[in-house]
Amino acid sequence: MEGKQVEVVDVINRKMKKLAIVIIMILPVLNVFAQGGEQKPDSVYKNRVLESTEIDILTSYYSQDGDNAAVSGGIGTEKLTDFTPTIVISVPLNEDDVLTLDAGISSYTSASSSNINPFDGDQPADPFQASSGASRADLYTNITGSYSHSSDDRNRIWSAKLSFSNEFDYSSFGFGGSYAWLFNEKNTELSINGNVYLDQWKLLYPIELRSFAGQAGDDEDEDEDDDRIPWEKLTGNTPYNPSFTGFNDESRNSYSLGLGFSQILSKRVQGSLSLDMVRQNGLLSTPYHRIYFADKDGSYIENFRLADDVERLPDTRTKVAIGGRLNFFLNEIFTARTYYRYYTDDWGIGSHTASIEIPVKLSGKFTLYPSYRFYQQTAADYFAAYEQHLSTEAYYTSDYDLSKFRSNQYGIGITYTDILTKARLWKFNLKSVDLKFHRYERNSSFKANMVSFGVKFVMDDL
């Protein structure tokens, strides 16, 4: 197990090194464009949209646990840890244009992925025990490039972006664009954005169902022995013979359209309203989320019940979210940032989100960020708990992320800001450091903790 983790860390190190080399090679080239804008003898003076290259190095560590894992049909450990280093580089190409590259590698270990095959560990299979086999850890990589252009009067901004992400069973390609229009002496802003994501599954069913779907019973990069199911230990309903058919569609496409409106309300108050509409189609079920029916007798190996089927959800979903922010500058020390969102979709889920953050300026350089967030949602029409679904239903899921629940989230953060960017590291001047901690609790056994860290540098001209 430790060997696998060391291997994953090595892979991250190698990938981050490669990324750093590519970035160092690209920066001088981009800087030529940036300086080209300055050297135009007859150019009209304009404030640059971005004065100089900025680099954000961001990292987060996330851990969660609970007793309602979807991979084991609504019971079992939801243990997951995730470490995500990310780098964001914004380069001013000239006075008006900014290119941003955003790349991250996420290393995670999860019961969700490990219990796709609960029989490859060195302990008896059990939904409340994450398998220690090779499938427990993996990497998620993503890269996004975006380009923005501002008009001379800075009242019109358009941008375009491309993104790609990949993990062991899923890849996503996305593109999109946005347009913003400021008017009323920049007191009012209207914006519109659209995004398309074309995603692809690699169908990975629970290990015991693969032979019924025509898949070989092995995972990539693993010995076949690791995946061998100890059928000799089968108890309960024998022989195990689920009526299982695999999915035909491996794609999942998402199309989103967003509208935004922001308004300065006074010298101390400003707010925004946003509306997002999303249409998804394709395989919206997760192929390795097990389902156990109330009207079927269970088959067991060790302490693990073998799946009767996998989650089945409709192949379309329409989501609508409307959100509003109101920020108040209370005085030189306190600011209040408030947010509310209403969400609904055609799977029967409705939700309310409300949050408040009160930045407290401790000094010219340090700001404290206490925050609180409340969230509640209704259950999807297709949700039922462990062994509550009937095999006669058309759609079913026991994923508690689609159940009815409430959550409270408490946060605290601190930011160090150096306006004069005095601290230097080679050609990088430190601008700010952020550290945040969040504690998330559902009204169930589910709990999560997250630490986020970010450093922003401003770069000298090369």
Partner 1 sequence: MKKKAILLIMVSAFLGSCTAVKEYEKVNLNDPDMALATKKVDRFEMNFQAYREAASGANGGKTGGGCGCN
Site for partner 1 in 251-270 (CB under 8 A): 254-256, 258, 261-268, 270
How many chain residues interact with partner 1 (CB under 8 A)? 97
Please give the residues from 388 up to 447 whose contact with partner 1 meets the rule CB under 8 A.
401-402, 407, 411, 413, 417, 434, 436, 438, 440, 446
Pick the closer one to partner 1 by CB: 206 or 454. Answer: 454
CB of 160 to partner 1, least distance (A): 16
**What residues form DSSP beta bridges with 455?**
57, 433
Taking CB under 8 A as the criterion, the residue among 274, 281, 388, 408 binding partner 1 is 274
- For 220-314, strand residue ranges (E) read 234-236, 251-264, 269-282, 290-291, 299-301, 304-305, 309-310
Buried b (16+ CB within 10 A) or exposed e, 36-53: ebeeeeeeeeeebbbebb
C-alpha 312/C-alpha 290 separation (Å) is 10
C-alpha 117/C-alpha 130 separation (Å) is 10
Pick the closer one to partner 1 by CB: 31 or 377. Answer: 377
Residues 6+ positions from 52 with CB-CB distance below 8 Å:
92, 458, 459, 460, 461
- Asked if 154 interacts with partner 1 (CB under 8 A), we say no
Residue pair 221/282 in contact (Cβ under 8 Å)? The answer is: no
Residue pair 432/413 in contact (Cβ under 8 Å)? The answer is: no
- Asked if 385 interacts with partner 1 (CB under 8 A), we say no
Please give the residues from 127 up to 146 whose contact with partner 1 meets the rule CB under 8 A.
140, 142
Pick the closer one to partner 1 by CB: 116 or 301. Answer: 116
DSSP string computed for 163-174: EEEEETTEEEEE
Pick the closer one to partner 1 by CB: 59 or 391. Answer: 59
DSSP string computed for 178-227: EEEEEETTTTEEEEEEEEEEEEEE-----GGGGGGTT--S--TTS-GGGG
- Asked if 363 interacts with partner 1 (CB under 8 A), we say no
Taking CB under 8 A as the criterion, the residue among 53, 68, 107, 112 binding partner 1 is 112
Pick the closer one to partner 1 by CB: 302 or 418. Answer: 418
Contact string 10-49 vs partner 1 (x = CB under 8 A) = ----------------------------------------
Taking CB under 8 A as the criterion, the residue among 128, 212, 343, 374 binding partner 1 is 343
Please give the residues from 276 up to 295 whose contact with partner 1 meets the rule CB under 8 A.
276, 278, 280, 286, 289
- Asked if 380 interacts with partner 1 (CB under 8 A), we say yes
